[in-house]
Amino acid sequence: MSLGNLDELYREIVLDHYRTPRNRGELPVPPAVRVEGFNPLCGDEIALYVEVHDGVLTDIRLSGHGCSISQASSSLMSVAVKGRPLGEVRATIERFKAMMTVGETGADAAPSVADLRTMGELAALQGVAQFPVRIKCATLAWNTLTQALDEAAPSA
């Protein structure tokens, strides 16, 4: 039988980040900011720690539990944004969320091939958009990150 759809969802990079999540742990608060995110539908919970200095997201840690998609997404996110200027981080959040809205709003919103190239490993999560109920799993960490940035650097 065909498991083609599943292979789209569970790419090797995704499974790797699920099995071996990066940047797991906690940071002392302060100087870090701690924000929690919940997905009441499936019971996923994450706690996100971010540290911001001089407009740069200098460190990030994640704890909590959830499905492979939410865990892989938060791990991939942490790698993508760590050490980046906040403007770049916010732009990455926007690009990721645009990638996730394809399933909801149709192909018009799909990021171009050029966009996907700039997303690096994050593009591995592209297949999630074909599974509408799983989009919330993938975006949980990103929405939580937005909240954390708003707290850590309200004006940025």
Residue 121 parent element (H or E): none
Contact between 137 and other proteins (CB under 8 A)? Answer: yes
From 50-58, 67-75, 79-87, 117-125, span contacting other proteins (CB under 8 A): 67-75
**Three-state secondary-structure class, residue 106:** coil
Q: Which of residues 3-42 bind other proteins (CB under 8 A)?
A: 3, 5-6, 9-10, 15, 18-19, 41-42
> Do residues 50 and 145 touch, judged by C-beta distance below 8 A?
yes
Pairing of strands 56-65, 44-53: antiparallel
Position among 13, 27, 34, 45 found at the interface with other proteins (CB under 8 A): 45
Residue 45 parent element (H or E): strand 44-53
Interface residues with other proteins (CB under 8 A) are 1-3, 5-6, 9-10, 15, 18-19, 41-45, 65-69, 71, 131, 134, 137
